Amino acid sequence: MNKSNLKLIAVLERTGGFASAQELHQILRREGDGIGLTTVYRALQTLVDDKIVDLLRREDGEAIYRLCGDTHHHHLVCKGCGNTVEIEGGAVEKWAKVIAEEYGFRDVGHTAEIFGLCEKC
């Protein structure tokens, strides 16, 4: 684990919730860290590969990142305010497993997100 990765993890811990690469870069810069945008992207990518952070998309397609919790979960995201709730996905886990078996797939993972408008928006 290199220095940049740790920095990004620290910021994500501090801010909580989702942030884009550009935002994370700005935050670090504002705090006096001279880290380059390239390095931010690189660190985020390896953290995603290592399943340390989650990658989602904003409505406009911009990538946003957040620390994974230790349990596998899914997200309920508000399209209006961006607020996010972690949810249980028991039904989805089962569904993915059944389908994968049906088609003879192994080593399977899955993604599932729900998005809509929350009560306030």
Partner DNA sequence: ATGGAAATGATAATCATTTCCATTTTGTGA
Partner DNA sequence: TCACAAAATGGAAATGATTATCATTTCCAT
Question: Can you give the binding site for DNA, defined by CB under 7 A?
Answer: 2-5, 20-22, 34-39, 41-43, 45, 60-63
Rule CB under 8 A: say whether 68 interacts with a copy of itself: no
Per-residue tokens: 61: 């397609």
User: DSSP code of 25?
Assistant: H
The distance of closest approach from Cβ of residue 96 to DNA in the complex, given in angstroms and rounded to an integer, is 24
Distance CA 19, CA 11 (A): 10
Distance CA 111, CA 79 (A): 18
Stretch that binds a copy of itself, among 4-12, 21-29, 33-41, 98-106 (CB under 8 A): 98-106
Q: Which does 109 bind (CB under 5 to 8 A by kind): a copy of itself, DNA, none?
A: a copy of itself
Per-residue tokens: 113: 């997100």
Q: Which does 85 bind (CB under 5 to 8 A by kind): a copy of itself, DNA, none?
A: a copy of itself
Q: Which strands form 53-57's sheet, in the order they lie side by side? A: 19-20, 63-67, 53-57
The distance of closest approach from Cβ of residue 46 to a copy of itself in the complex, given in angstroms and rounded to an integer, is 17
Rule CB under 8 A: say whether 62 interacts with a copy of itself: yes
Residue type, 49: D
